[in-house]
Amino acid sequence: ITSQTCAIVLLLHFGHTLASNGDRTQFFHNCRQNCERTNCSAGLEIQEQAINFYGQTVFDRIFGWSCSDECTYGCMWRTVFAFMERGWPIPQFYGKWPFLRLLGMQEPASVIFSVMNFIMHLRLLRKFRRQVRPDSPCYKLAHIFGLTCLNGWVWSSIFHTRDFPLTELLDYAFAYSIVLCSLYCMIMRMLHRYSLFLRGVITLAFISYYINYFAYLSVGKFNYSFNMKVNIATGTLAALGWFIWCHRVRLRRPYFRRILRFYVLFAMAMSLELLDFPPILWILDAHSLWHLATVPLVSLYYDFMIEDCKTLRLEKMTADGYGYFD
């Protein structure tokens, strides 16, 4: 009996309890160990056997697909096909669905949609700079938000291209920076007429909190559940603050509908994250679709900031504007 046949037999003994955990099956382990022993025993560099067998492209080499990575990727698909032949649910590997690699990218759809988000923020930030004068209230606040988002989408693109512990940490940490920045911008918008000292103290408090949270994520085992709860709680506070503001100014600031519409649609788009299904065509999963859904929503936020900054500047130039606290 060949080693491949033995591996398939061992796979059958795992049953349905582990069918969603492909990397825990004996079939996957045996496949990977045999591949590494045959192709990767000569050293750490990518072996010619693996390059020839898997047909590595120049992009695969640029993004650092090692011999061991090639074995893991190849055995992942052998395990997937073994499951499908038996009518079992498609398994996940190391907490992720199997994705078809494209141009060296592990999750090509998420990479493409992350880049689209980056481009959208860049274009809209330039639009903001063209239409809003630098002496407008909250002008710098819009730049803080825009630059934070640009940084976050850069690391999202990098992480979905190649999943390493460092890229994972930076993706999650900077993704949270966007959520935290939205809360910060909401608070600073409400307090923009207050003293520079008060706003400076609040700013230092946010920076200190984020540094400590980044340190927490960096030490020990990453707690996905806790990080998700923190993101949801922070985002909810930001949305709640804007909803209260919208209610207060609904009669004198008709453009409030833009920020309200943004958060309502954003919450609806976020429901995609609650879905969990195998990738369509091995490329599109719920997470990548969530990234796609955020692309057109960004314009609502920037349009609101443009109109708000223009209005605040106009109010600043007139005596009537000083009577508002919103």
Summarize pLDDT for 83-112 with one digit per residue, the tens. 999 989 999 998 889 999 999 999 999 999
Residue 59, CB-side half-sphere exposure with 13 Å CA sphere: 9
For residue 9, being part of any structural domain is answered with no
For residue 96, being part of any structural domain is answered with no
Per-residue pLDDT averaged across 5-13, rounded? Answer: 36
Same structural domain for residues 72 and 211? no
> What is the CB neighbour count within 10 angstroms for residue 296?
12
Per-residue pLDDT averaged across 249-262, rounded? Answer: 94
Please give the tally of structural domains in the chain: 2
Helices (H), the chain: 3-12, 26-39, 48-54, 58-62, 67-85, 108-131, 139-161, 165-190, 196-218, 224-249, 256-270, 286-316
Same structural domain for residues 54 and 138? no
pLDDT over 70 at 12, yes or no = no
Same structural domain for residues 54 and 132? no
48: confidence class by pLDDT, cuts 50, 70, 90: low
For residue 7, being part of any structural domain is answered with no
42: confidence class by pLDDT, cuts 50, 70, 90: low
For residue 92, being part of any structural domain is answered with no
Same structural domain for residues 46 and 177? no
103-154 pLDDT per residue, tens:
999 999 999 999 999 999 999 999 999 999 999 999 999 999 999 999 999 9
Length of the chain: 326
Per-residue pLDDT averaged across 235-242, rounded? Answer: 95
Same structural domain for residues 60 and 203? no
Q: How far apart are CA 278 and CA 283, in angstroms?
A: 9
Question: What is the share, in percent, of the chain residues with pLDDT greater than 90?
Answer: 67
Same structural domain for residues 32 and 173? no
Quote the domain boundaries for residue 113.
108-319
Q: How far apart are CA 230 and CA 237, in angstroms?
A: 11
| pLDDT value at residue 248 | 94
Q: What is the DSSP letter of 132?
A: S
| pLDDT value at residue 35 | 86
CB-based contact 99:105 (threshold 8 Å): no
| pLDDT value at residue 50 | 56
Q: What is the DSSP letter of 290?
A: H
CB-based contact 125:306 (threshold 8 Å): no
Same structural domain for residues 183 and 258? yes
Same structural domain for residues 126 and 272? yes
- Based on the number of CB atoms within 10 Å of its own CB, is 326 exposed (0-12), middle (13-18) or buried (19 or more)? middle
CB-based contact 173:224 (threshold 8 Å): no
State the CATH number of the domain containing residue 308.
1.20.1070
The region of weakest confidence among 164-178, 215-229, 283-297 is 215-229
Same structural domain for residues 38 and 161? no
Same structural domain for residues 175 and 280? yes
> What is the CB neighbour count within 10 angstroms for residue 230?
17
- Structure-block tokens of residue 126: 């330039």
41: confidence class by pLDDT, cuts 50, 70, 90: confident
pLDDT over 70 at 193, yes or no = yes
For residue 295, being part of any structural domain is answered with yes
